[in-house]
Structure 1
Amino acid sequence: MSSITRRTALGAAVGAAGLALAGPVASAGAATARTGATARPVPTAGTAAAGPAPAAFDEVYLGRRIKGGATHGGHHGGHHTGGYSVTIDGEELHVMQNADGTWISVINHYEPLATPKAVARAAVRELQGAPLVPLTLA
């Protein structure tokens, strides 16, 4: 009777798969070293905010006044000490920067965009003329 169990067979398979995946990663590192190219750093939650702040904007887009700019102090009931604020016709559009530097809002949560201005414009298009209802945190 064989002494191999499902657990040891699964462990061996996972180990082999790990070695198979490590090969291409090591090759990519070697290619980077040969060409002198620099590897792109993987962003972490703390690095997104470390970059330059997005530019402020104030414009009329599709008949709606959109504004955005850096905030300092009590934001969202004091939850943040600083950040970025976007409004549509004077009502706040809650926006958030992702770890990769993209931006989302409560209107287009699954559509990350490059800038808060792009997020505000996408929200205006999605609202299709409807007013932005204030988000209340109860």
Structure 2
Amino acid sequence: MPELSRRRALTGAAALAATVGAAGAANAAPGDHHANSPGSPTSPASAASTTSATSSGFPAAFDEVYKGRRIQGRPATGGGHHGGGHHGGGYAVFVDGVELHVMRNADGSWISVVSHYDPVPTPRAAARAAVDELQGARLLPFPTD
């Protein structure tokens, strides 16, 4: 019998975790994913922060000052980094004129490079979450190359 190596133990643990996670997801009711978490598309807290979609299916553009920072968002056009529908799904978000890289998840929620592990319902909410997380610090340009 082969000796149990660290690699085999970690591989087995990862396989077990994936199996348990898949079983848990299969047992959850449809639409229950993050149903009670703040900022989820179905929570009461997010109902007030959702924006209407444009005719192209993108969230509406926004331009506001939030906690002293100018946040903007709009459907991206042209052939730039986001123009081709890369991660942001054709939507560009800016904090004080610096692009905040956002990505739309399969469930319709949005994440940013600043608050990657906290999905929110809209790009506006992603910009606000980034401002909160930055706590006054400048957003630095994200290298794309």
Alignment counterpart, residue 58 of structure 1, candidates 54, 63, 76 = 63
Q: Say which one has the larger Rg.
A: 1
Structure 1, gaps ≥5 residues long: 1-20, 29-38, 41-50
**2:139 counterpart residue number:** 132
Cα distance between partner residues in 2 of 1:104 and 1:92: 14
Going by fraction, where is strand more abundant, 1 or 2? 1
Offset at 1:137? 2.3
Q: Tell me the TM-score normalised to structure 1 length.
A: 0.60
Alignment counterpart, residue 78 of structure 2, candidates 66, 73, 83 = 73
**TM-aligned CA distance change 1:130 to 1:53, over 3 Å:** same
Alignment counterpart, residue 104 of structure 2, candidates 97, 101, 107 = 97
**1:108 counterpart residue number:** 115
Cα distance between partner residues in 2 of 1:113 and 1:78: 22
Which runs of structure 1 show a deviation greater than 6 angstroms over 4 or more consecutive aligned residues?
none
Offset at 1:74? 1.9
Cα distance between partner residues in 2 of 1:109 and 1:118: 13
1:95 touches 1:104 (CA, 8 Å); kept in 2? yes
| Count of equivalent residues | 94
**1:7 counterpart residue number:** none
Q: Deviations over 1:78-130 (max 9, x none)?
A: 65477100000000000010111000000011111000000000000000000
- Which residue identity is paired with 1:70? P
- Which residue identity is paired with 1:89? D
1:74 touches 1:80 (CA, 8 Å); kept in 2? no
**TM-aligned CA distance change 1:77 to 1:57, over 3 Å:** closer
Question: What is the CA RMSD across the aligned residues, in angstroms?
Answer: 2.7
Structure 1 residue 84 and structure 2 residue 105: aligned?
no
Going by fraction, where is helix more abundant, 1 or 2? 1
**TM-aligned CA distance change 1:109 to 1:92, over 3 Å:** same
